[in-house]
């Protein structure tokens, strides 16, 4: 078997960490279960080391295994870095949260690490079977994690809705993939790409592509496949919600990138219009519904749906052109947006965890006047939420700039219309993001609210570290966009060649 253990090192390190966490959970008494958290955080940090040696040792050369079904190239390394860093930040956010509520710690970290391992597998998958196995490894543990607050009715509801709709989406996705295999005679992306042009007029093939897109639409919470997201986000433990909104969503977009750019680049007339509609609906419905939310977690849930729509926008640009430069720019814009969004959104959820700890509430009005008793947290909150809105000089503006540049480059009427829809939605999003900033900085502390006890609770070291890493990236990527532009330009080349 053609295995390259250096190329597989990140996955092997995460797998070994899972076994270590399991062993510690079995061996340690309950008061010492916190060592499982330490092992999980350390293991993910170590998993990043082989990524660096693979990327900067001899350059990100392509390493193919299992007959081309599993490939480690520049594209895979970039996405694996996003998943590992994002997972690392989520584990840091989880430490005090899981300990304070006396959850089962060992099982929590084991399931979270298993989901992260699945995302690493997805980044390297180059056939339908490996892609499906990786995707289910990502989502399977999250069905349990969403209901981790076992005595909470909302958490139980979150888990049940997520499970039922997750199984439904899996069935639709697998149905489409089986059709695709039956019609093309291949499960590899390369084989499907070669057979697809001859099947363009086949109604069954079009149905296969659309079913597969619908399956991924559930995973990325695109409208109208988003029904599970708001209740699941609100009911799940906040660190799990943070991972759902970033890690799980990014894994879904990896699947879409591989499917559209690697397996089906010659049938853009099928997936292009479908993703155009999903992008427009997700941005519009997500933003309009977020305007009406009073709970910051539900607001971020609908915000996540809208942000997913922005990430889908560059697909429309790639679908209307055969220009390799435009396709490269569209792929780069998607990945750049995913990377920046990961840090912005994880930072926002870190603020939610800290804000709920300080105020005892996730209702926006209860955060009024936060700057008076938690000024540093109010600064971080304003920073992350305005970055999500795309306000310079924070990183969010560059993500939206790359997205708009990719969609306007083709000069097509359909892409221009989508750009106008995106611009209107960017303005709508500013309203509800600014509302949180206004509440924290301009409103008075609610009458009768006793903040004397909770205001003295300092941030735990792990949560402060997660917020610090996220804030540093958001500031540097926004203030130094042209310095980062060189990195993103290299990323564009890596992404295109990888896909």
**3-class SS string, the chain:** CCCCCCCCHHHHHHHHHHHHHHHHHHHCCHHHCHHHHHHHHHHHHHHHHHHHHHHHCCCCCCEEEHHHCEEECHHHHHHHHHHHHHHHHHHHHHHHHHHHCCCCHHHHHHHHHHHHHHHHHHHHECEHHHHHHHHHHHHHHHHHHHCCCCCCHHHHHHHHHHHHHHHHHHHHHHHHHHHHHHHHCCCEHHHHHHHHHHHCCCHHHHHHHHHHHHHHHHHCCCCCCCCCHHHHHHHCCHHHHHHHHHHHHHHHHHHHHHHHHHHCCCCHHHHHHHHHHHHHHHHHHHHHHHCCCCEHHHHHHHHHHHHHHHHHHHHHHHHCCCCHHHHHHHHHHHHHHHHHHHHHHHHHHHHHHHHHHHHCCCEHHHHCCHHHHCHHHHHHHHHHHHHHHCCCCCCHHHHHHHHHHHHHCCCCHHHHHHHHHHHHHHHHHHHHHHHHHHHHHHCCCCCCCCCCCHHHCCCCHHHHHHHHHHHHHHHHHHHCHHHHHHHHHHHHHHHHHHC
More confident of the two residues 1 and 335: 335
N- to C-terminal Cα distance for the chain? Answer: 24
pLDDT tens, residue by residue, 63-81: 888 888 899 888 888 899 9
More confident of the two residues 489 and 469: 469
Q: How confident is the model at residue 399 (pLDDT cuts 50, 70, 90)?
A: very high
Instruction: Write down the pLDDT at residue 488.
Output: 64
pLDDT tens, residue by residue, 332-368: 889 999 999 999 999 999 999 999 888 888 888 888 8
Instruction: Name which of 207-216, 269-278, 302-311, 490-499 the model is least confident about.
Output: 490-499
**Average pLDDT rounded to a whole number, residues 286-315:** 94
Cα–Cα distance for residue pair 244/248, rounded to 1 Å:
5
The answer to whether residue 176 scores a pLDDT higher than 80 is yes
Q: Output the average pLDDT for the chain.
A: 88
> What pTM did the predictor assign?
0.93
Instruction: Write down the pLDDT at residue 495.
Output: 61
Can you read off the two tokens belonging to residue 200? 């363009």
**Length of the chain (residues):** 499
Cα–Cα distance for residue pair 5/10, rounded to 1 Å:
9
């Amino acid at each position: 078997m053609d295995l390259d253990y250096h190329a597989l090192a990140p996955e092997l390190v995460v797998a070994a960490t899972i076994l270590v966490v399991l062993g510690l959970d079995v061996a340690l008494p309950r008061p010492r279960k916190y060592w499982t958290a330490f092992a999980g955080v350390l293991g993910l940090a170590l998993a990043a080391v082989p990524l660096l040696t693979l990327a900067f040792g001899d350059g990100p050369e392509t390493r193919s295994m299992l007959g081309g079904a599993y490939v480690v190239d520049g594209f895979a390394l970039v996405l694996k870095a996003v998943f590992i860093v994002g997972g690392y930040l989520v584990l840091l956010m989880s430490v005090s949260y899981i300990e304070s509520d006396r959850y089962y710690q060992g099982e929590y970290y084991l399931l979270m690490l298993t989901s992260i391992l699945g995302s690493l597998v997805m980044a390297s998958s180059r056939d339908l079977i490996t892609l499906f196995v990786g995707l289910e490894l990502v989502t399977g543990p999250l069905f349990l994690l969403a209901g981790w607050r076992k005595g909470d009715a909302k958490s139980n509801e979150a888990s049940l809705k997520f499970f039922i709709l997750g199984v439904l989406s899996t069935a639709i996705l697998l149905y489409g993939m089986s059709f695709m295999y039956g019609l093309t005679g291949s499960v590899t992306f390369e084989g499907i790409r070669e057979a697809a042009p001859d099947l363009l007029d086949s109604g069954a093939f079009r149905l296969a592509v659309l079913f597969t897109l619908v399956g991924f639409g559930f995973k990325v919470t695109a409208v109208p496949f988003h029904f599970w997201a708001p209740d699941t986000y609100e009911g799940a433990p906040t660190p799990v919600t943070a991972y759902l909104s970033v890690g799980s969503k990014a894994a879904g977009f990896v699947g879409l990138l591989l499917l559209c750019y690697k397996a089906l680049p010659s049938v853009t007339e099928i997936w292009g219009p479908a993703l155009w509609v999903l992008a427009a609906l997700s941005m519009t419905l997500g933003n309009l519904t977020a305007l009406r939310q009073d709970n910051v977690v539900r607001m971020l849930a609908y915000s996540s749906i809208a942000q997913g729509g922005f990430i889908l926008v560059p697909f429309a640009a790639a679908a209307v052109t055969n220009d390799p430069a435009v396709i490269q720019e569209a792929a780069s814009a998607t990945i750049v947006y995913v990377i920046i969004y990961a840090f912005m959104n994880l930072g926002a959820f870190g603020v939610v965890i800290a804000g709920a700890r300080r105020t005892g509430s996730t209702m926006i009005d209860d955060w009024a006047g936060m700057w008076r008793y938690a000024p540093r947290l109010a600064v971080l909150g304003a920073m992350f939420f305005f970055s999500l809105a795309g306000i310079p000089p924070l990183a969010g503006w560059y993500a939206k700039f790359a997205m708009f540049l990719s969609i306007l480059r083709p000069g097509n009427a359909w892409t221009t219309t989508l750009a106008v829809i995106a611009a209107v939605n960017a303005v709508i999003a500013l309203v509800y993001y600014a509302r949180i900033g206004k509440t924290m900085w301009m409103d008075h502390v609610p009458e009768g609210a006793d903040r004397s006890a909770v205001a003295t609770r300092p941030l735990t070291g792990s949560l402060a570290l997660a917020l610090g890493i996220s804030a540093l990236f958001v500031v540097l990527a926004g203030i130094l966009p042209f310095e980062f532009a060189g990195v993103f330009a290299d990323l564009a080349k890596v992404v295109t060649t990888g896909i």
